[in-house]
Chains A and B, each alone.
Chain A
């Protein structure tokens, strides 16, 4: 069974700090990796995707992928209270249209 694991949290960080969210996956055939943000009562919205090993930066967000370790992470720099949400990691395997979602990490940014 293909799995995506995340620590459920909550992860609490002070405003202005770096929040580090982690995700591991079991399927070595996974090719595409996504981070979604979900505010309470809202649907998930895509914030980052990464396909290649290494880092990908977009504004305050950096996604990091290490396929050898089957590990993907999301760094949020200069965290703001508005970043408080649940962050879902999703993985898509090669040759499939299905995404496997982790259970999400709840982030709380303290003002």
Chain B
């Protein structure tokens, strides 16, 4: 299965600022997925990132707030913009490298103060 390097692992940010999260995959994948996991909650899909095209956002998530880049088949970034305390969460990237489910990055634990 694919191995994903995600960074930063955690950060504490001031409200109103932005944070960019990076994910590097050790193999080429068509789609990368960005999830949010709020405290005590399950995983919510933010968007799907395809190389060479704009990301597809789920209901409730918009590009201005969560811009995504996908410059090649092994890398993607998610930016959390104009942060508020409600954005405090764990952000996870993932790929479906086979038919056997997702592989997740190690996650970014974001605290907005």
- Co-complex (A, B): yes
Q: Which residues of B contact A43 (CB under 8 A)?
A: 92, 104-107
Partner of A46, one of B102, B105, B106, B109: B102
Q: Do A97 and B43 have beta carbons less than 8 Å apart?
A: no
11 pairs, A vs B, C-beta closer than 8 Å: A43-B104, A43-B107, A46-B101, A46-B102, A49-B100, A88-B42, A90-B101, A99-B102, A101-B42, A101-B43, A103-B42
Q: Which residues of B contact A32 (CB under 8 A)?
A: 99, 101
B58 CB to nearest chain A CB (Å): 9
Q: Do A97 and B48 have beta carbons less than 8 Å apart?
A: yes
User: How far is it, in angstroms, between the C-alpha of A103 and the C-alpha of B41 when the chains are bound?
Assistant: 6
A55 CB–B CB distance under 8 Å = no
Q: Do B42 and A42 have beta carbons less than 8 Å apart?
A: no
* Interface set of A (CB-CB < 8 Å, partner B): 32, 34, 36, 41-46, 49, 88, 90, 97-99, 101-104
Question: How many residue pairs bridge A and B at CB < 8 Å?
Answer: 43
B69 CB–A CB distance under 8 Å = no
User: How far is it, in angstroms, between the C-alpha of A97 and the C-alpha of B103 when the chains are bound?
Assistant: 14
* Interface set of B (CB-CB < 8 Å, partner A): 1, 31, 41-43, 45, 48, 92, 96, 99-107, 109
User: How far is it, in angstroms, between the C-alpha of A44 and the C-alpha of B106 when the chains are bound?
Assistant: 9
Q: Do A97 and B107 have beta carbons less than 8 Å apart?
A: no
Please name the residue on chain B nearest to A46 by beta carbon: B101
Q: Do B42 and A46 have beta carbons less than 8 Å apart?
A: no
Partner of A97, one of B1, B31, B106: B31
Q: Do A104 and B42 have beta carbons less than 8 Å apart?
A: yes
Q: Do B43 and A88 have beta carbons less than 8 Å apart?
A: yes
Q: Which residues of A contact B43 (CB under 8 A)?
A: 44, 88, 101
B81 CB to nearest chain A CB (Å): 23
Please name the residue on chain B nearest to A97 by beta carbon: B31
Q: Which residues of B contact A98 (CB under 8 A)?
A: 45, 48
Q: Which residues of B contact A101 (CB under 8 A)?
A: 42-43
* Known contacts A97-B48, A102-B42, A42 near B107 by CB under 8 Å: yes
Please name the residue on chain B nearest to A103 by beta carbon: B42
When A and B form their complex, which 4 residue pairs have the shortest distance between CB atoms, in order from nearest? A43-B104, A103-B42, A101-B43, A46-B101
